[in-house]
Amino acid sequence: MLDATGLFATTPRRNMELKARLRDPSAARQIAATLATAPAESQRQRDTYFRVRHGRLKLREIEGRTAQLVWYARSDQFGPKGSDYRLVAVAHPAELRETLASACGICAVIEKQREIFLYNNVRIHLDVVTELGDFIEFEAILGPEVNDSAGRAQVEFLQSAFQLSAEDLLDRSYAEMLPLS
């Protein structure tokens, strides 16, 4: 069930996603603005990734917003891929971060500036990631009206609209792209 903002789910959710390097952020911004079915939003985010045995677990802190604990599982493959996830609102992110760091260990911290455009049920993210550069991500939210096949078709349409080549596509999270220290 989603809360009043439509953001936090108490049950498992699913999306179809694709992530790629972004060669021309200005052109991508223009395409996203043309396709958008809702006004764009900008967010400053910090994702702290914790070591877990299954899937990925991160604490997302969004400047001026409620933090979220995000668990997700998806295959590491290039191109569109299904992702199962859960979101939980977090009232005390600093305390939770320290508790999870003690229990699980931190494997990465990602800081990014994210512009979010909506194209129907698809979130288009234009990300500037500290230490990594510019990226684009599509997340087609799946549900009763949009199944895996329809979500895949939406993501593939956007891949074409943004002229993303196979060489641009990524198979992993930002956390896994950071150089080991």
CA 2 – CA 28 distance, rounded (Å): 30
Q: How far apart are CA 174 and CA 158, in angstroms?
A: 21
**Looking at the domain assignment, is residue 114 inside a domain?**
yes
- Distance (Å, whole) CA 83 – CA 81: 6
**What is the residue-wise DSSP string for 87-130?**
EEEES-HHHHHHHHHHHT-EEEEEEEEEEEEEETTEEEEEEEET
- pLDDT higher than 70, residue 9: no
At 48-101, the pLDDT tens digits run 999 999 999 999 999 999 999 999 999 888 889 899 999 999 999 999 999 999
pLDDT of residue 178: 86
pLDDT at 10: 58
Instruction: Report pTM.
Output: 0.88
Strand, helix or coil at 79?
coil
Give domain status of residue 24, yes or no: yes
Q: Is the pLDDT of residue 3 over 50?
A: no
18, pLDDT greater than 70? yes
pLDDT in tens, 90-147: 999 999 999 999 999 999 999 999 999 999 999 999 999 999 999 999 999 999 989 9
> Residue 27's Cα: distance from chain center in Å?
21
Q: Which two tokens mark 53?
A: 């045995």
The secondary structure of residue 23, as a DSSP letter, is: S
Q: Domain for residue 108, yes or no?
A: yes
User: Is 46 contained in some domain?
Assistant: yes
Residue 39 pLDDT > 90: no
Say if 49 falls within a structural domain: yes
Say if residue 12's pLDDT is above 90. no
pLDDT at res. 4: 39
Which of left, alpha, beta for 157 (phi over 0: left; psi -120 to 50: alpha)?
alpha
Domain range for 94 is 13-176
Tally Cβ neighbours within 10 Å of residue 131. Answer: 11
CATH assignment of the domain containing 130: 2.40.320.10
Q: Number of folded domains in the chain?
A: 1
